[in-house]
Chain A
Amino acid sequence: MTGQSNGASGAGPSHRSVEIGVALLTLVFSLIVIGGSLQVGIDWAFDGPRAGFFPFYLGLLILMSSLVNLFQIIMDGKTQRLFAEWGQLGQVLRVVVPSTVYVVLVPYIGIYAASILLIAVFMKWLGRYGWTLVLAVSIGTIVITFIVFEKWFLVPLPKGPIEELLGL
């Protein structure tokens, strides 16, 4: 992470290798689907097709199209296109990492506290804003959200120890 380097390096993973990865992923997925269908039975019982009947053929179709896709990428050796530059992928990771942490935190500290953290981290880390603005936006957003969801539309959201302390 070297600051705001927006991928000036010009290097990165090739589009081809990522395509192959995605095709392999769908291939593995198809095998899981086929395996799961075989587990519950793909033939006919006395009362009609068993539970695995339909998904089994879906799995076969995914398997077939994955193989075709894979074949087409491997045959097409000309494209030297980049998937994205490393700097760009870094930018993407700067969203993925905090969001993943956020998603993991929600069950423990509640969605409100986690959201304040997420917005604050984002603004501080990516936007480099002053603390006043960071706190105003993060807490303000969450207070408005609380009023709209819990009070107006009566949608309960997960809460944690902090809300309990505040008696909300």
Chain B
Amino acid sequence: MEEISNLFQGFATVLQPFNIMVMIVGIVLGVIIGVLPGLGGANGVAILLPLTFSMSPTSAIIMLSCIYWGALFGGAITSILFNIPGEPWSVATTFDGHPMAQQGKAGEALTAAFTSSFVGALFAVIMITLVAPLVAAFALRFGPAEKFGVYFLAFCSFVGMSKEPPFKTVAAMMIGFALAAVGLDQMTGQLRLTFGFTPLLTGFDFLIAVIGLFGIGEILLTMEEGLQFKGRSAVINPTVVFQTWKELPRYWVTSLRSCVIGCWMGVTPAGATPASFMSYGIAKRMSKRGNNFGNGEIEGVIAPETAAHAAGTSALLPMLALGVPGSPTAAVLLGGLLIWGLQPGPTLFIDNKDFVWGLIASMYLGNIVGLLIVLTCVPIFAAILRIPFSIIAPIILVYCAIGAYSVHNSNFDVVMMMVFGVLGYFLKKCNYPLAPLVLAIVLGDRAEESFRQSLLASQGSLSIFWSNWLVGTIMALGLIALFWSAIQTTWTRLRAMVTA
């Protein structure tokens, strides 16, 4: 009950005129970011983070999270009209979305995509409203060992569940942790890994890494592919929208299943991209018209879009309740919290109630506003993609540089951004996952602190991580996640042996 009154208070905060304006600006910027190749949710939010320095934390998080919703919506536009996924999570939307557009059903496809996104996000927000306070209350009991256990679990899931080779994931992740360790050691006050180089005293900021790896790296990849944009034009009129809406309830099973897949994959750090693929794959297998998937089946648009949005939204649940972001964008939002002077994690629900519930309320409203904006403004957003890349690319570069500079007002950061950009290009081409690298830079100091605090309590014995049922369970789950793919292969082999 208390949650409901808190939520209503949150709505009251969000409905202030300034916050509504911020919300609309955020969503429009987000859709633009989602539409443009080379700008994604994570680095889009990172670039625009400095704009929020002069705002109150609540307005700031509303703006940034709305940029995120907008980016999620925007990805679908380019997938359907141009067959170019603006975001990795909208790749699966191209499979049936673009064929629909080619058959002249772009309006239906877009309406279905936006509406499913909305449904997925709404499902995830309701889940967050109900579950997050419980998780946070439970997590208040966590000591340093349990905290480290949660980090351990999050990072092990990356190794076990990502499709990249496990040792590349480990390498990328540990490089992130090592970068986070550079500079002043918070516990001993000693400098480390700076090798006498002054700009390294403050260490590497993950925002710079995000802007470089995802922003510059992505532009380089786009350049290499030499993209030519040839798009279908889009007309959405109310008749098409209402006709599609009448048709959509028929696919409620697919929708519900995709919501559940999305929420699960979002809370565990697998993220929106695998969620959309998995949801598409399962829908194809279960659907009566599964054979026709890939030729413009509306169900093939509903499944990935619902799952991607459910995953993208529910990635905020562990960020809010535990301080462990479920996706790179959630990690950037978490970095924002730190900059605004808030302590992410379970105490947020006690010390900063207005902030948390304002954010949750803004998720409800932001998605409604987002749906209305994208439904009405699709042609305008699609026109942005018709601007040639040789104009868009340098402008994106300039904004990346401005974003990188304004984090610490440092020219060295701009140089580092470029280094990370080139690095990101090579890492991505060689199949090293970037998300765990970024997450490790964000969480590095906190993970190290809880690790060292635990060891201090136990006089250096690792047995503290098995000292009670709670931390033991978390660590065991972590180990299962770490060896998940190995467990799966053994299991299938065993089954094959039994049936043979």
Q: Do the two chains belong together in a single complex?
A: yes
Q: Which residues of A contact B175 (CB under 8 A)?
A: 26, 29, 62
Give the complex CA separation of A89 and B170 in angstroms. 28
Q: B residues within 8 Å of A by Cβ?
A: 50-51, 53-54, 165, 167-168, 170-171, 174-175, 177-178, 181, 185, 187-188, 190-195, 216, 219-220, 223-226, 388, 390-391, 393-395, 397-399, 401-402, 405-406, 409, 411, 414-415, 417-418, 421-422, 425-427, 429-430, 432, 448, 451-452, 455-456, 460
* A88/B405 in contact, CB under 8 A: no
Give the complex CA separation of A43 and B194 in angstroms. 19
A residues contacting the other copy or chain, number (CB 8 A): 74
Q: Which residues of A contact B405 (CB under 8 A)?
A: 106, 111, 157-158
Q: Is A107 an interface residue (CB 8 A)?
A: yes
* B411/A54 in contact, CB under 8 A: no
B62 to chain A, nearest CB (A): 15
In this complex, what residue of B is CB-closest to A50?
Answer: B188
Q: Which residues of B contact A18 (CB under 8 A)?
A: 426, 429-430
* A122/B165 in contact, CB under 8 A: no
Q: Which residues of A contact B193 (CB under 8 A)?
A: 32-33, 36-37, 55
Out of A59, A91, A94, A118, name the residue touching B397 (CB < 8 Å): A118
A124 to chain B, nearest CB (A): 9
Could you count the A-B residue pairs with CB atoms below 8 Å apart for me: how many are there? 184
* B391/A51 in contact, CB under 8 A: no
* A115/B398 in contact, CB under 8 A: yes
In this complex, what residue of B is CB-closest to A133?
Answer: B391
Q: Which residues of B contact A129 (CB under 8 A)?
A: 390-391
In this complex, what residue of A is CB-closest to B431?
Answer: A19
A20 to chain B, nearest CB (A): 10
Q: Is A149 an interface residue (CB 8 A)?
A: yes
In this complex, what residue of B is CB-closest to A107?
Answer: B411
Given A36-B195, A55-B192, the answer on whether A103 and B455 have CB atoms closer than 8 Å is no
Give the complex CA separation of A53 and B418 in angstroms. 30
Ranked nearest first, the 4 interchain pairs of A and B with the lowest CB-CB distance are: A127-B390, A122-B394, A51-B185, A36-B193
Interface string of A71-82 (1 = CB under 8 A from B): 010000000000
Interface residues of A in 123-167 (CB under 8 A from B): 123, 126-127, 129, 137, 141-142, 145, 148-149, 153-158
17 A–B pairs (Cβ distance < 8 Å), ordered by A = A22-B430, A26-B171, A33-B193, A48-B456, A58-B178, A69-B167, A83-B429, A91-B224, A92-B220, A92-B224, A95-B223, A103-B417, A106-B411, A122-B391, A122-B394, A123-B390, A126-B390
* B451/A54 in contact, CB under 8 A: yes
Q: Which residues of A contact B397 (CB under 8 A)?
A: 95, 99, 102, 118
Q: Which residues of B contact A40 (CB under 8 A)?
A: 185, 190-192
* B422/A68 in contact, CB under 8 A: no
B19 to chain A, nearest CB (A): 16
Q: Which residues of B contact A39 (CB under 8 A)?
A: 192
Out of A21, A62, A141, name the residue touching B171 (CB < 8 Å): A62
Q: Which residues of B contact A95 (CB under 8 A)?
A: 219-220, 223, 393, 397
Q: Is A49 an interface residue (CB 8 A)?
A: yes
* B170/A65 in contact, CB under 8 A: yes
Given A33-B178, A65-B167, A111-B401, the answer on whether A122 and B390 have CB atoms closer than 8 Å is yes
Given A84-B429, A127-B388, A145-B398, the answer on whether A54 and B181 have CB atoms closer than 8 Å is yes
Out of B216, B225, B430, B460, name the residue touching A19 (CB < 8 Å): B430
